[in-house]
Structure 1
């Protein structure tokens, strides 16, 4: 399915994604990561900024509270509706990363979190970011490398199979490794890369682990019995406070020349 036209999601799938994003927004370190992204953007009172792939809208609301003229855009109409219901004072619009509803050079900041891995053409999206940013404007991209879930489990080989099979279902699972190069190719300067790693040891992240196991099962990489046995172990680890999941999040920032 082409991300430029539609998400291809059902309403239930969007609702499930919202639930996962809510977990991500409230997990340990997430608030600090968002705050760091606003710092790198240079969010200032009255500055026009966009959050691309805004999801349920928390970042847009927080930047608005900081005085920015923040707009959240998302290709999913249901997602935009949910964001508007949660944050009625903020500005949300339906649009995709390749055709943003802004004039050339209109914005001072461009932010995208956990978005570029679903795009079929990340370079094109960065080109659109360059179009809407004014000279000196800032771009911040936040994302994970889908091969770098670090999970403790009894069966290391099965765990590797699950992580890599789930990664292979993603359009651009390793785009964070390319983000610096993509920005340089597009003419951005002052490119920096930071990493913040969350470590989770309780049952909070079980829905994420369940998504990994189901993705691997649905792709045929592992059997249903293997998925259930692996997830049962993780549930027990979560119950006993012995779960271990480390998830690096990469933050790439740059300035439009």
Structure 2
């Protein structure tokens, strides 16, 4: 039985988010996003795409009032289970379930899924007070760095992964996006995150085979080499902040 056809238990979205939150450097990156918000104790912040609520819990511990919003009822339910004292609401980035009065807006790993980011930024401006800060964080899915003896195959596999994302390159353009939508005093910084493990690289190649970017045989060859060395992938991640 081939490596690509072997049955592997799938990871749920919740499991993938928990795994991403546990990656080396993830806690430090979250902390940096909180610093960029520059919140005063008691001020209000909204975390859009809050998932299971880790950032909401961490921000609440810093003495700010946090509302977590997610489009997934499963995530909202899990967030409420994990942090029953926190404020979690169902909603999406285009129509936030709040009236306004927020000093901070945070969205991590959200904007690459948005077909109309300008609508989401209009909502951010609606709910932020004058002088309020926005912080966006996300990966560049078209710039994965993978060591391989098969560079042409690797390029096709990376392109296939990017094609599965609504806006795979949006993070590199956060500065331009914020400026074009009325934000000012924009800052931009980047780090390199690291993914790894058999399931991650297997998912990459399975997606590429599924859309016909590479053949099954090519995928087998590429995957065998990656599994031999632990499936190490570097992913650029960008953080941008600005003022209303």
**TM-score, normalising length: structure 2:** 0.91
Match of 1:44, SS state, is coil
Match of 2:6 in 1: none
Shift in Å at residue 88 of structure 1?
A: 2.0
* Conserved? CA contact 2:145–2:234, under 8 Å: yes
Kept in 1: contact 2:90–2:97 (CA 8 A)? no
Q: Which of residues 40, 46, 55 in structure 2 aligns to 1:44?
A: 40
Which residue of 96, 103, 128 corresponds with 2:99? 103
Match of 1:249 among 237, 240, 244: 237
Which one of the candidate residues 159, 180, 187 is aligned to 2:175?
A: 180
Which position in structure 2 is the counterpart of 1:224? 216
Output the aligned Cα RMSD. Answer: 1.7
1:129 aligns with 2:117: no
Q: CA 1:205/1:84 → structure 2, altered by over 3 Å: closer, same or farther? A: farther
Could you tell which deviates more after superposition, 93-102 or 226-235? 226-235
Q: Is the 8 A contact 2:148 2:226 kept in 1?
A: yes
8 A contact 1:44–1:68 mirrored in 2: yes
Any conservation in 1 of the 2:17–2:51 contact (CA below 8 Å)?
yes
Q: 1:79 to 1:227 in 2, by over 3 A?
A: farther
The residue number in structure 2 matching 1:9 is: none
CA distance in 2, matches of 1:99, 1:20: 26
Please report the TM-score for the alignment, with normalisation by the length of structure 1. Answer: 0.86
Q: Is the 8 A contact 2:197 2:232 kept in 1?
A: no
Take 1:232 and 1:60, find their aligned partners in 2: how far apart are those partners?
A: 40
* 1:232–1:91 CA distance, 2 compared to 1 (3 A): farther
Q: Structure 2 unaligned segments of length 5 or more: list them.
A: 1-8
List gaps (5 residues or longer) in structure 1: 1-11
How many residues were matched structurally? Answer: 236
Going from structure 1 to structure 2, the CA distance change for 1:151 and 1:107 (only over 3 Å counts) comes to same
